[in-house]
Every structure is written in C-alpha cells, then in structure tokens.
Amino acid sequence: MVRPREFDRDAALERATQLFWAKGFAATSTDSLVKEMGIGRQSLYNAFGDKRQLYLHVLQSYREKSLSGHLRRLTTPASPLSGISDLLSGLAATDDDVRALGCLGVGSVGEFGTSDPELKRLNESASVWMCSRIATRIREGQKIGEIAPGFDADEAARFVLLTMTGLQLAARSGASIADIQQLAAFAVARLKA
C-alpha cells in the first residue's frame, strides 16, 4: 500500500520559493530543495513534477502575489500620481533580508533572459498586464491635470515598469529603503504636470 503524502503543500512551496528566490534556479539543487522543503525526493516529483516544473509553479505563485500587491498600491489612492508613487516606493521592503532578495521575477529574467520560451511568456504576460494598469492610471492623471499631458501614456507606463525593475535590482544589490524611496520619488516627479 502506498503511503499518502504527509506534508503541508503550501508550507513546502513557500520554502521552495525562499530557496529559489535566494539562489536562483541553477544554483538550487534538487537535494537542497527536498532538504529545505522537508519532503522526500519522490514526494517532490509526485506533488510538483521535476525541479523545473516546481520552479515554474513557484514563479507563477510569486507573480500572482506580487502583481496583486502592485495593483493594490497603484489603485488604492484616489490620486493617480500617488498610486504610482505608492507602487514604486512600496518596492522597498522594510525587512533588510527580504529587500536584499530583490524580486524573484526580475531574478528569473536575469538568469534566463529570453532563452526559455515558457518563462519568457510568463514574464511578458506579467509585464503587459502591469503596463496596462499603469497606463490607465497615467491617463487618469492626465485627465485631471496631475500628470503631464504631453506624455504618451503607454510609453510613460513602460518607463514606470523599467523603473520598477531598476529599483528591484538596486534592492538586490544592497540599496537602502531611503535610496529606493528617493529614486522612486525622482521617477514620479518626472511625470508631474
């Protein structure tokens, strides 16, 4: 008789996320995953597939949580400019260890570039989705006179998205909360009417 899985799937996924986030895909071995997740190798394969499938699952779950947080910060304030400011300044995690990890999604782009079609698709879809939401806020800001009317909203949204990526890389390289917030404020100031 086969023993059923006896582990908390969500907790195991969270531990795998932390490991991939800290080390990246290539530097994370299957042995380190099973040890960190507290499960056997066969349980990993049965529950999640191989290392790559687990990575894709972790990355998708991470993206959903991240994008949800980004959208909340972007859309909660009535002021579109404040929403963009909250979006960017909110990238600076208050916990030094978390901030030093940067962004798992940005890390995946750094590690794989465009060499993996499935990861490329995940990254592009997240970027397109986020850019669309930012462009909507920019247009709202232009209508009420907060954001300079001369900007092409889609181009300005790509600027904000690029700024997000830069801030997350800065965090990974050791930037302080103050540094990230100062750079975020500088970027937001470029949009003002």
Which residues have C-beta within 8 Å of that of residue 140, sequence separation ≥ 6?
80
Q: Greater confidence, 59 or 1?
A: 59
CA–CA separation, 159 vs 136, rounded Å? Answer: 14
**Got the DSSP string for 154-172?**
HHHHHHHHHHHHHHHHHHH
Q: Quick check: 107 and 171 in contact, CB under 8 A? A: no
CB atoms within 10 A of CB 48: 21
Mean pLDDT of the chain: 93
Q: Greater confidence, 7 or 179?
A: 179
What is the second-level CATH architecture of the domain 56-191? Orthogonal Bundle (1.10)
Domain boundaries, the chain: 56-191
State pTM to two decimals. 0.91
Report pLDDT digits (tens) over 42-54.
Answer: 989 999 999 999 9
Q: Give the pLDDT score at 105.
A: 93
The residue to which tokens 């972007």 are assigned: 74
Q: What ranges in the chain are assigned the alpha helix state H? A: 9-23, 30-37, 41-48, 51-75, 80-89, 96-101, 104-112, 117-143, 153-172, 177-191
